[in-house]
Amino acid sequence: MIMNSRSERAAAIGTGQAGAPDNVDFNAVKQRQQATWAAGDYAVIGARLQIVGESLTEAADVRADEQVIDVAAGNGNASLAAARRFARVTSTDYVPELLDKAAARARADGLDIEFQVADAEALPFADGAFDVALSTFGVMFTPEPSKAARELRRVVRSGGRIGLANWTPEGFLGDLFRIIARYAPAPAGVQSPMLWGTEPRIVELFGPEATDIRCERRLYNFRYRSAAHWIDIFRNFYGPTHKTYGALAPDRQAQLTADITELLERHNVGGPNSLVVPGEYLEVVITKK
């Protein structure tokens, strides 16, 4: 197994509950999450992340005619990338509106992809049905990580690969979600999705059934005109920020805008006339025993 030297620091970051109490209503949590991701129009955000799907598909060594599942596919970045490599792709998500946008992209690009509404924590496929499972910034948001990891392991054949792209807790998205949590706290007992962006958590979830785990920290650059432009796009189209703004009184909305503006300007490497914010993520490739 290959581990990044920042493992210990990542594991020490407290970005969420360490465990879930027995009385958490995960069905209610999931319904809330579905409503969040259906809000706005994630495709406006997601299409700009296409490069991550391309990188992950290369890292996972996806080959022609392999059976590939994209789990929590959103608007289909990894699905499209795998289909471009002539893989046989099944694209899944539990939000039908997101898959509709992915299907439109596939049609526009002339790509043959099967789309199916499916819960990442209860995939309706046989054991070992796929050569490769992929997920870009998707499965990391499931409320019960152990179930989602179990399903990824289950549907991939022995010797197959699992490829993940997960935001890290130390990066820009980790900072953003900590700000959002101050205004709209996560349900008690639900672990932070950012833990999926730490090497120790990946080993905990997949290590016992892996012959190899490779983790590499990468950067995706958010490129916008300004902090105000970024906030306008994410406020209107990105589910978590869209729903948070919608639940706040005007004075709290203004304070949230001020907090996010400060965060964006602190991370901006684009100079005074543009916004370029590096967002760190963990690219993971797991080979199953």
Per-residue pLDDT of the chain (289 residues; tens, 9 = 90+): 444 434 333 333 433 444 445 578 888 888 888 888 888 899 999 999 999 999 999 999 999 999 999 999 999 999 999 999 999 999 999 999 999 999 999 999 999 999 999 999 999 999 999 999 999 999 999 999 999 999 999 999 999 999 999 999 999 999 999 999 999 998 888 899 999 999 999 999 999 999 999 999 999 999 999 999 999 999 999 999 999 999 999 999 999 999 999 999 999 999 999 999 999 999 999 999 9
pLDDT for res 23: 77
Secondary element (H or E) of residue 244: helix 239-246
Domain 24-221+280-288: which topology? Rossmann fold (3.40.50)
The C-alpha atoms of residue 141 and residue 164 are separated, in whole angstroms, by 12
Chain position carrying tokens 């400060």? 262
pLDDT tens sequence across 203-223: 999 999 999 999 999 999 999
Buried b (16+ CB within 10 A) or exposed e, 86-104: ebbbbbbbbbeebbebbbe
List Cβ neighbours of 210 (8 Å cut-off, separation of 6 or more). Answer: 1, 286, 287, 288, 289
Instruction: Report the pLDDT value the prediction gives residue 8, as an integer from 0 to 100.
Output: 37
At 162 the three-state DSSP class reads strand
Q: Tens digit of pLDDT for each residue in 111-151?
A: 999 999 999 999 999 999 999 999 999 999 999 999 999 99
